[in-house]
C-alpha cells in the first residue's frame, strides 16, 4: 500500500505540544529489616524495588517479593505499601503494565496516612488475589512492573516521595516500602509517626477495570518467522511489494521481520537497513489485510531506536510508526482516514533532530501537494519502549503516550470508512547521512490491541492486555469484517 508523501509543509498548526519534565532526584537509602513480631516470624517476606521512570508523567515503582524463610507464603496474605507525597488536589490511578504472576492477580489501591510527613501523606497498597498462588521458600514473585499517575494526566512530582529513589535503577532490598503478612508488618519502615502495623485500610476505590464485552483484536506476535502460516491466517500481511513511502529504489524486505522472546513476552522486530543508496535500502512493514477497524481504542507497545543497532554511522532520516489508514480513492476524497504515531529519531521533513508526531488526517492531494490534517508534536528522544494509545469516539481523536495525554484532535478528522492497522519503518531520504557504510535500525512491537466502539483509558488498556496474558491468549480477533 502506498502511503502519502511526507513533507515539512504537510502539517497544520498543532493544538498541543507535550511537555514532559524530569523530576529532581533523591539519594539512595540503605535497606534494613525491621524486627519481626513473634507471630509473623515463621512467614517473613522482603521487598526488592527499582524505579523505571524519574519523569513527571507517572511513577513506575517495580517490585519483587522475596521469601527468605523456610515455609511457603500465600501471596493473598501479603500487602506492600509504597509511600508518597500527593500533589495538591490530585487523585491517582493504578495500573499494572506486566507481571510474572499476571496483572490480573495484582491489585492496587490508595490510602491516606494517619500522620502525614514532609515526604508522605498517601500510599499505594499492592495486594494479590488467590490466583497468584503461594511463594515457595527461597523464591520470589519475579517482576511486577507497576505504575500510577494522576487521574487527569497532570504532571506529578516524585522527588519528595518517601519511597522513591532515582538512584535505584536495579532491583535491591528496599526498606522504605513495607510488607505485611496477614496484617502484621514483617518488612520495612513506614514514614515517621505511622508505626509499623498497617491496620488502617486503603480509603480510595480500586482502579476501574476495563469494560466487559466488546469485539477486539489482540496479538502479541507469538510467531516463528515472517512466513509462519499463522501470520496469514491471523489476517496480517508482511509487505514485499515495491512502492512508497521511502527513498526511490528501496524495497520492502519481509525476511527482515523477525520474532523473539524478551522479558517473557514474544516481540516482533522490524529491521530497516541501508548503505546509502536506494538499491541497498531494505524497509519493513506489517499490516492487516482487512480494512475493518474504525471507532474505538487502538494500542500498541513499541520500542523506538535512535541509533543503529550495531556498527555504522548514525543520523539517517528514519520514520518509525504505528498507524491506521484506508485508501485514498481520489485526490481530496472525503472518506480517506489516517491516524499516525510517527517517530523521527534523527529528524527529517525540515526538523533537525528527534521528534514525535501524532497526526489525524481528513484527506490530501498528492500532486500538487495539499493536506488537510491536525497534529501534535514533541521534540525529544523517545528511544525505548513506549505505550501508544489512540481513542476515536464520536467527538474526538485522543492520543496518549505512556499513560499521559499527548494530543486531542477535532471531530472534523473522525473516520468515515474502516481502516487497516499498520507498523512500518522506512527512510525519508539520505539528507541525514549519505555514507555508504552499511547500518540497520530496529523497531520492536510487543503487542497490538483494538477494542471496537469502546474508549478505554490507558490503565484499562494495560488491564485488558494483562488479562489476555494471564489467560495465555496470544491472539484473538472477533472484529467482524462487515462492521
What is the model's pTM? 0.63
**Any idea what the Cα angle at residue 95 is, between residues 461 and 462, rounded to 5°?**
20
Q: Which three cell numbers stand for residue 300?
A: 500498541
Mind listing the pLDDT tens digit for each residue in 428-444? 999 999 999 999 999 99
Judge contact between 403 and 385, C-beta under 8 A. no
Q: How far apart are CA 325 and CA 291, in angstroms?
A: 8
Per-residue pLDDT of the chain (483 residues; tens, 9 = 90+): 333 333 333 333 222 222 222 222 223 233 333 333 333 344 689 999 999 888 777 899 999 999 999 999 999 999 999 999 998 878 888 888 888 998 888 999 998 998 899 999 999 999 998 889 999 999 999 999 999 988 777 888 999 999 999 999 999 999 999 999 988 999 999 998 887 545 456 666 555 556 666 799 999 999 999 999 999 999 999 999 889 999 999 999 999 999 999 988 999 999 999 999 999 999 999 999 999 999 999 999 999 999 999 888 999 999 999 999 999 999 999 999 999 999 999 999 999 999 999 999 999 999 999 999 999 999 999 999 999 999 999 889 999 998 889 999 999 999 999 999 999 999 999 999 999 999 999 999 999 999 999 999 888 898 899 889 988 999 999 998 865
Could you give the CA distance from residue 394 to residue 412 in angstroms, rounded to a whole number? Answer: 10
- Could you give phi then psi for residue 192, rounded to 5 degrees? -55, 135
Alpha-carbon distance of 466 to 332, in angstroms, equals 41
pLDDT digits (tens, 9 = 90+) for 51-65: 988 877 789 999 999
Closest Cα partner for 220 from 270, 272, 271, 259? 259
Cβ count within 10 A of residue 448: 25
Kind and range of the H or E run holding 269: strand 265-274
The three-state secondary structure class of 333 is coil
Amino acid at each position: 500500500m502506498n502511503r502519502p508523501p511526507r513533507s515539512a509543509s504537510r502539517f497544520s498548526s498543532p493544538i498541543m505540544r507535550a511537555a514532559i519534565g524530569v523530576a529532581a532526584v533523591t539519594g539512595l537509602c540503605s535497606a534494613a529489616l525491621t524486627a519481626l513480631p513473634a507471630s509473623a516470624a515463621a512467614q517473613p517476606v522482603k521487598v526488592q524495588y527499582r524505579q523505571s521512570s524519574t519523569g513527571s508523567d507517572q511513577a513506575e515503582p517495580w517490585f519483587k517479593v522475596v521469601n527468605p524463610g523456610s515455609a511457603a507464603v500465600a501471596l493473598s496474605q501479603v500487602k506492600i505499601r509504597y509511600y508518597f507525597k500527593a500533589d495538591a488536589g490530585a487523585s491517582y490511578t493504578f495500573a499494572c503494565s506486566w507481571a510474572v504472576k499476571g496483572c490480573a492477580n495484582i491489585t492496587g489501591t490508595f490510602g491516606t496516612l494517619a500522620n502525614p510527613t514532609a515526604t508522605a501523606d498517601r500510599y499505594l497498597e499492592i495486594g494479590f488475589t488467590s490466583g497468584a498462588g503461594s511463594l515457595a521458600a527461597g523464591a520470589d514473585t519475579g517482576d511486577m512492573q507497576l505504575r500510577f499517575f494522576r487521574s487527569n494526566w497532570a504532571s506529578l512530582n516524585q522527588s519528595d516521595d518517601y519511597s522513591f529513589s532515582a538512584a535505584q535503577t536495579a532491583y535491591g532490598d528496599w526498606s522504605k516500602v513495607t510488607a505485611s503478612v496477614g496484617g502484621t508488618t514483617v518488612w520495612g519502615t513506614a514514614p515517621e509517626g505511622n508505626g509499623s502495623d498497617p491496620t488502617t485500610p486503603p480509603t480510595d476505590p480500586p482502579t476501574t477495570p476495563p469494560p466487559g464485552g466488546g469485539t477486539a483484536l489482540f496479538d502479541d506476535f507469538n510467531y516463528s518467522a515472517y512466513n509462519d502460516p499463522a501470520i496469514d491466517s491471523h489476517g496480517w500481511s508482511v509487505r514485499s511489494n515495491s512502492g512508497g513511502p521511502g527513498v526511490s529504489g528501496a524495497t520492502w524486505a519481509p525476511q527482515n521481520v523477525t520474532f523473539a522472546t524478551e522479558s517473557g513476552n514474544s516481540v516482533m522486530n522490524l529491521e530497516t537497513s541501508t548503505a546509502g543508496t536506494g538499491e541497498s535500502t531494505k524497509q519493513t512493514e506489517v499490516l492487516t489485510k482487512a480494512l475493518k477497524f474504525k471507532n474505538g481504542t487502538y494500542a500498541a507497545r513499541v520500542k523506538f531506536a535512535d541509533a543503529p543497532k550495531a556498527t555504522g554511522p548514525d543520523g539517517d532520516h528514519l520514520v518509525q510508526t504505528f498507524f491506521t489508514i484506508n485508501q485514498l480513492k481520489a485526490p481530496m476524497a472525503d472518506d480517506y482516514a489516517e491516524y499516525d504515531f510517527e517517530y523521527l529519531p534523527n529528524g527529517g521533513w525540515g526538523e533537525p533532530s528527534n521528534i514525535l508526531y501524532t497526526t489525524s488526517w481528513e484527506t490530501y492531494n498528492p500532486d500538487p501537494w495539499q493536506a488537510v490534517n491536525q497534529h501534535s508534536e514533541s521534540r525529544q528522544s523517545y528511544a525505548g519502549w513506549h505505550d501508544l494509545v489512540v481513542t476515536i469516539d464520536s467527538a474526538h481523536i485522543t492520543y496518549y503516550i505512556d499513560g499521559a495525554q499527548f494530543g486531542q484532535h477535532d471531530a472534523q478528522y473522525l473516520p468515515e470508512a474502516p481502516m487497516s492497522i499498520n507498523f512500518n519503518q522506512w527512510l525519508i531520504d539520505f539528507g541525514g547521512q549519505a555514507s555508504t557504510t552499511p547500518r540497520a535500525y530496529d523497531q520492536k512491537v510487543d503487542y497490538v490491541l483494538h477494542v471496537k466502539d469502546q474508549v478505554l483509558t490507558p490503565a484499562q488498556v494495560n488491564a485488558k492486555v494483562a488479562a489476555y496474558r494471564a489467560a495465555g491468549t496470544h491472539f484473538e480477533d472477533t472484529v467482524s469484517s462487515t462492521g
